[in-house]
Amino acid sequence: MDFNEQNLAIRLSGKRIGNNIHFFTEVESTNDVLFKLARDSAPHGTVVIAECQTKGKGRLNRQWQSPPGCNIYASIALRPAMEPVYAPQITLMTGVAVADLLSEYCAGAVTLKWPNDVHIKGKKVCGILAEMSASARGGVDFIVVGIGINVNIRKKDFDESIRNMATSLTEEAGHNISRLDLTVKLFDRFDDLYTRLLKSGFGSIKDAWLAYCDMVGKQARVIFNNDIESGKVLGIDDFGALVISDEKGKIKRVVAGDASLVKG
Ligand code: BTN
């Protein structure tokens, strides 16, 4: 078992993301732990990693299945000089970092689904949950980016409710993957793209995101609470919204919800 605090600390030593690491055998949610640490001034690049979560959080108040011994549950604290309206760019950038990484193991099979799911052959392998604290002066104080990757979990071990929609890297690549190596590569790729985002803007990251997204040009439906928006997907905008054209050709921005492609 090489996935432990000592080995992570050695491999992440001196890096911008992960030099300051907090590793737990069990937490309720790595995002919640890191949110508290960031409120108490944890620096940019601090990470929380856990072997398992008892209340792993997904989007829209869902749970994230987080058993021990097989997956990655990690949260990263960022302190970008950025207006809060642009914070969704960080979530999209994280999706590109994960998609780049997983493509090393499953070339050509990784896709991104708005707003932030990473899929392999149409099944969800990773979820991303970013949570922000705005400063009193109107900027971003910090953002906690939570990343859950199904690495070595086997299909039979997923909850029945998600078994047909979820997958893991080992199921798709056909062999076990080192969580230690994967975590180090994830943070390196994340840091490359984060640096690029802040230096050069969202343009090339948006292009990379769209290249991974298999929804563009297709009919989609987005459900949020009791609202349903349908239309042809045109792309995303600089605020992370999905841009669609409805049946009358009216252009609409959708800012939250569950998207699915409409067959037919
Ligand atoms: C989703 O797709 O619904 C988002 C899932 C995010 C799960 C990760 S696991 C690490 C971090 N801690 C949490 O409680 N959630 C995120």
What is 5-212's CATH superfamily? Answer: Bira Bifunctional Protein; Domain 2 (3.30.930.10)
Q: Which of 59, 73, 76 to mutate to test the pocket of ligand 1 (most atoms within 8 A of CB)?
A: 73
* Amino acid 180: pLDDT: 98
* Amino acid 264: pLDDT: 63
| Nearest residue to 157 via CA among 171, 147, 177 | 171
Residue 74 Cα: closest atom of ligand 1 = 10
Task: Give yes or no for residue 127 CB within 6 A of ligand 1.
Answer: yes
Paired strand residues for 110: 120
Query: In sequence order, which residues have a C-beta less than 8 Å from that of residue 243 and are 6 or more positions away?
Result: 233, 234, 235, 236, 237, 251, 252, 253, 254
- Tell me the three state secondary structure of residue 246: coil
Task: Name the closest-CA residue to atom 15, ligand 1.
Answer: 57
* Amino acid 85: pLDDT: 95
Residue 148 Cα: closest atom of ligand 1 = 9
Residue 127 Cα: closest atom of ligand 1 = 2
Q: How far is the CA of 192 from the centre of ligand 1 (A)?
A: 22
Query: In sequence order, which residues have a C-beta less than 8 Å from that of residue 164 and are 6 or more positions away?
Result: none
What are the residue ranges of CATH 3.30.930.10 in the chain?
5-212
* Amino acid 226: pLDDT: 85
Which residue intervals of 120-246 are DSSP H helices?
169-173, 179-200, 203-212
Domain 219-261: give its CATH code. Answer: 2.30.30.100
Q: In this structure, what token pair is assigned to residue 257?
A: 């919800």
Which residue intervals of 76-145 are DSSP H helices?
88-103
Q: How far is the CA of 65 from the centre of ligand 1 (A)?
A: 9
Distances (CA, A) of 246 to 146, 240, 251, 259: 33, 19, 7, 14
Residue 56 Cα: closest atom of ligand 1 = 14
What are the residue ranges of CATH 2.30.30.100 in the chain?
219-261
* Amino acid 263: pLDDT: 76
Per-residue pLDDT of the chain (264 residues; tens, 9 = 90+): 799 999 999 999 999 999 999 999 999 999 999 999 999 999 999 999 999 999 999 998 999 999 999 999 999 999 999 999 999 999 999 999 999 999 999 999 999 999 989 999 999 999 999 999 999 889 999 999 999 999 999 999 999 999 999 999 999 999 999 999 999 999 999 999 999 999 999 999 999 999 999 999 999 999 988 899 999 999 999 999 999 999 999 999 999 898 989 976
- Asked if 218 contacts 224 with a C-beta cutoff of 8 angstroms, the reply is no
